[in-house]
Structure 1
Amino acid sequence: MTIQSETIELQVQGETIAGTLVSPGSKMPGILFVHGWGGSQQRDLARARQITGLGCVCMTFDLRGHEKTQSQRLTVTREQNLDDLLVAYDRLVSHPAVDPGAVAVIGSSYGGYLATLLTLQRPVKWLAMRVPALYWDEEWNSPKQALDRQRLNDYRRRNLSPADNRALAACAEFTGDVLLVESEQDDYVPHSTLMSYRSAFVSAHSLTHRTVDGADHALSSEESQKAYSAILAAWVGEMVIGARLDRYPHYAPWYA
């Protein structure tokens, strides 16, 4: 790892003493978490703290229509939530410790869907999606909450291609590394949706597909939560931290 040294002067009671500020010359990967519809950043914070310990800068946030902006739940649109994600991404990469060429986005359900659309407008090197939801392209500016639930269920059971859906088209253009995590007992995002996403990543550098046995959509059990955390940590360790070691061979995380 490259080390930078800066000579500084310290003022003490009218006198000047010399010092040296030593800092790592390399920047860290940035990881952005995007929660699902009806969720919040609280569900991601524990994982963000764990991954930060590996040598990353992580960021969580609340989409509009959630938590402090819950009053907007009935009116917020997918376009507005994508704008939220774009602003959050820009804030993360503006952090002085973040390498803008090494950004990962981790999205759950609705957040996974939005993450695919983000890749059309911002550079993303790694994309992890847990039970990514899928929505038709029309009614983009209609309130998200007003979308017909039964129609969504039927739509997600179809075999869809990048020609059918903008999110899948974004997947087809994505050239980074991908993690897809499925819940075995998911009542909201069926296996067919995961397969539509999986089939769409025709240009991905790598694709990892994992299933959490016995898990429902929300990972309601502690066992399911732990299983997903283990899958995510292993993938981040292999992809994100591994790439950093390749780029900075003398870098070692704090736990090494």
Structure 2
Amino acid sequence: MQTSKVEIEVDTQRIMGTLASPDTGVPGVLFLHGWAGSQERDLQRAREISALGSVCLTFDMRGHAETLSQQRYVTRGDNLNDALAAYDALAAHPSIDPNSIGVIGSSYGGYLAAILTSLRPVRWLALRVPALYRDADWDVPKFSLDRKDLAEYRSSIVSANDNKALDVSRRFRGDVLIVSSENDDLVPHAAIASYRSAFINARSLTSRIISGADHALSTPESQKAYDSLLLGWFREMILGAR
């Protein structure tokens, strides 16, 4: 397995990423980290999935890591553009099969990953504690969104008719993994149920709850449980596609 640093051009800026790939990698896997996260949390998972015979790309969205100074100003639209630019950089890799690309998103990254499936071909979609946001205020900086209002919104079942991310999920026809945390105080079970209910056209839907885990997977045990779930699911998906 080899790793190499890449610069991804988006709008008038550049964001940093890391490619992990084996010599024989054909499927591609894109990682989207959560709000206030970074690609560092995904690197080990990328290495493990890369070892299955895939090319993985992790990257830092604007407003994070080296561009943290922009966090108060970036919008969901900005970060979606980051995700699209990263997807295109991954798809341009010479070893990639464009019909075999997976996206892994955590929390805010899961929300963006769901929307991305309407704009780029995605075969496998893995969402860990995917966040849910109102369609309104799309161009308002993410940092400025009303957290109390978001908490209330996520605490009730939301229809796919009333939410862009869920409407896109309803039209997705690939394989889906949804992982939730038993003690999540940011993305409650109602929000997870809204996503599960939306994926009515998915080729397959796997849903798992990590017992005792919080939103951030703060304990080594929770991290290990998620790593095992994710790696096992992708092993099944990637090997089953060959």
- TM-score calculated relative to the size of structure 2: 0.90
For 1:71 and 1:240, how far apart are their aligned partners in 2?
A: 38
- 1:225 corresponds to: 223
Letter paired with 2:203: H
For 1:76 and 1:177, how far apart are their aligned partners in 2?
A: 30
**Could you tell me whether the CA contact under 8 Å between 1:30 and 1:104 is conserved in 2?**
yes
Q: Secondary structure at the match of 2:206?
A: strand
Instruction: Note the residue ranges of structure 1 that are not aligned, 5 or more in a row.
Output: 1-24, 245-256
- 1:22 corresponds to: none
C-alpha distance after superposition, 1:161-214 (max 9, x if no partner): 110100000000000000000000000000000000000001000000000000
Answering whether residue 204 of structure 2 is matched by residue 206 of structure 1, we say yes
C-alpha distance after superposition, 1:16-67 (max 9, x if no partner): xxxxxxxxx9861000000000000000000000111110000000000000
Letter paired with 1:119: T
C-alpha distance after superposition, 1:55-101 (max 9, x if no partner): 00000000000000001000000000000000000000000011110
Q: Secondary structure at the match of 1:98?
A: coil
For 2:49 and 2:42, how far apart are their aligned partners in 1?
A: 11
Letter paired with 2:147: R
For 1:160 and 1:149, how far apart are their aligned partners in 2?
A: 17
For 2:51 and 2:24, how far apart are their aligned partners in 1?
A: 16
- Within a 5 Å distance, the mapping from 1:175-190 to structure 2 comes to 175-190=173-188
**Could you tell me whether the CA contact under 8 Å between 1:126 and 1:240 is conserved in 2?**
no
Runs of 4+ in 1 over 2 A off after TM superposition: none
Q: Post-superposition shift, 1:241? A: 2.3
For 2:116 and 2:99, how far apart are their aligned partners in 1?
A: 15
- 2:34 corresponds to: 36
Counting matched residue pairs gives 221
**Could you tell me whether the CA contact under 8 Å between 2:25 and 2:55 is conserved in 1?**
no
- 1:195 corresponds to: 193
Letter paired with 2:86: A
- 2:70 corresponds to: 72
**Could you tell me whether the CA contact under 8 Å between 2:25 and 2:53 is conserved in 1?**
no
Answering whether residue 161 of structure 2 is matched by residue 163 of structure 1, we say yes
- Within a 5 Å distance, the mapping from 1:1-256 to structure 2 comes to 28-244=26-242
For 2:75 and 2:181, how far apart are their aligned partners in 1?
A: 26
- TM-score calculated relative to the size of structure 1: 0.85
Q: Secondary structure at the match of 1:124?
A: coil
**Could you tell me whether the CA contact under 8 Å between 2:122 and 2:174 is conserved in 1?**
yes
For 1:207 and 1:85, how far apart are their aligned partners in 2?
A: 23
The alpha-carbon distance between structure 1 residues 158 and 32, as it changes in their structure 2 partners (threshold 3 A), is same
Structure 1 or 2, whichever has the larger Rg, is 1
Instruction: Note the residue ranges of structure 2 that are not aligned, 5 or more in a row.
Output: 1-22
For 1:237 and 1:124, how far apart are their aligned partners in 2?
A: 17
For 2:168 and 2:96, how far apart are their aligned partners in 1?
A: 24
Q: Secondary structure at the match of 1:45?
A: helix
